[in-house]
Amino acid sequence: MPLPPATKLPLAVRKNLRDDFEANKETFEKEISDLLGTEWKIDINPLAIYPYGTDSFSKDCLGSCLKSYMEGVTWRLKYWLEKEANEAKDEINTVCFAHTITFGVDESGKFTYGGVVVDDGSLKIVFKEGNLGVNVNDTLETLSAALNDAPVKDGSPLSVQSRLSIARDYNPKVEEWTKKFSDMLGVPITLNPNFEENFAVCKARSRGKKSELRDDWETIIGEMTLKYWEGAHWVMNYKKFGDDDMLQEAFTDEISKNQIEFRVAEKLKKGSGYNECFHEDGVLILQTTPENFGTNVDQACEGIVDIF
């Protein structure tokens, strides 16, 4: 239960708030707005925060404390945006539709010092009771996870973290691998990552009580799908598909749609193992299961010669 807000702050605290926080608030708002490409506001009630202060920094110098938090927010936000693809701006602006940064105590109990959550469309910086002013630079360290945990309003079949992974790790490189397959096989190849269907299968499995699906699957779905393409290309190149006319002819005869698809299925057709490949309706299928997603990615195409 949150502590009741203060009714009035000491003069020294009010002065520190005015000089250190309020005087810099518009600057922080402009920096954040410039980073995100749309207007954002900061909405913090010092009266609600003051009762949680436990030392001279968090209580007597509350303005300096809040300023430090906002400095950490702008620094972490800039770092996050530089690490992610351009789509990251759209993600945070869409999920945090109020375009407001708020501040308060962590009522979830999941943070050791502090963190961030999405609360009614606002990006809320939170601190654990007793740790106000501690690790002020790290609150946005779990920003992607906070966006991912927010209620879905856009109806997308993919989560925020999976979309970020695809935009960051898959989209910039898939054209290169499409060209490599096409050059090797002498026909224009299409790569189908099957993201939405694969996500749905993995998500359903992750809800199981005894799921062996790796915990980070959403954050690496783009990277790992690309690695399946890389592994398949390496195997096919090693088996001389780029040089052997007979192998190329067998490929084009059976893979009539010139398409390679990656699929996560409940179980393998062959019954056991990590991965398998087969052709289906003119498409080469690379298949794995949720539990083995990301395991032995370079072997998914190992038996390709035997399927023709």
Q: How far apart are CA 161 and CA 144, in angstroms?
A: 6
Residue 137 is predicted with a pLDDT of: 96
Residue 151 is predicted with a pLDDT of: 82
Within 10 angstroms of residue 167's Cβ, the number of other Cβ atoms is 18
Question: Each residue of 193-251: pLDDT tens digit?
Answer: 999 999 999 999 998 876 789 999 999 999 999 999 999 999 999 999 999 999 999 99
Question: Each residue of 50-83: pLDDT tens digit?
Answer: 999 999 999 999 999 999 999 999 999 999 999 9
- Nearest-10 crossing angle of helices 217-238, 195-206: 130
154 pLDDT exceeds 70?
no
Within 10 angstroms of residue 79's Cβ, the number of other Cβ atoms is 13
* Amino acid symbol at 145: A
Mean pLDDT of the chain: 95
User: Is residue 122 within 8 Å of 61, Cβ to Cβ?
Assistant: no
CB-based burial, 243-278: b 16+ in 10 Å, e otherwise:
eeeebbebbeeebeebebbbbbeeebeeeeebbbbb
Q: How many Cα atoms sit within 13 Å of 35 on the Cβ side?
A: 22
Residue 207 is predicted with a pLDDT of: 87
Question: Each residue of 240-270: pLDDT tens digit?
Answer: 999 999 999 999 999 999 999 999 999 999 8
Residue 249 is predicted with a pLDDT of: 95
130 pLDDT exceeds 90?
yes
Confirm whether pTM is higher than 0.85.
Answer: yes
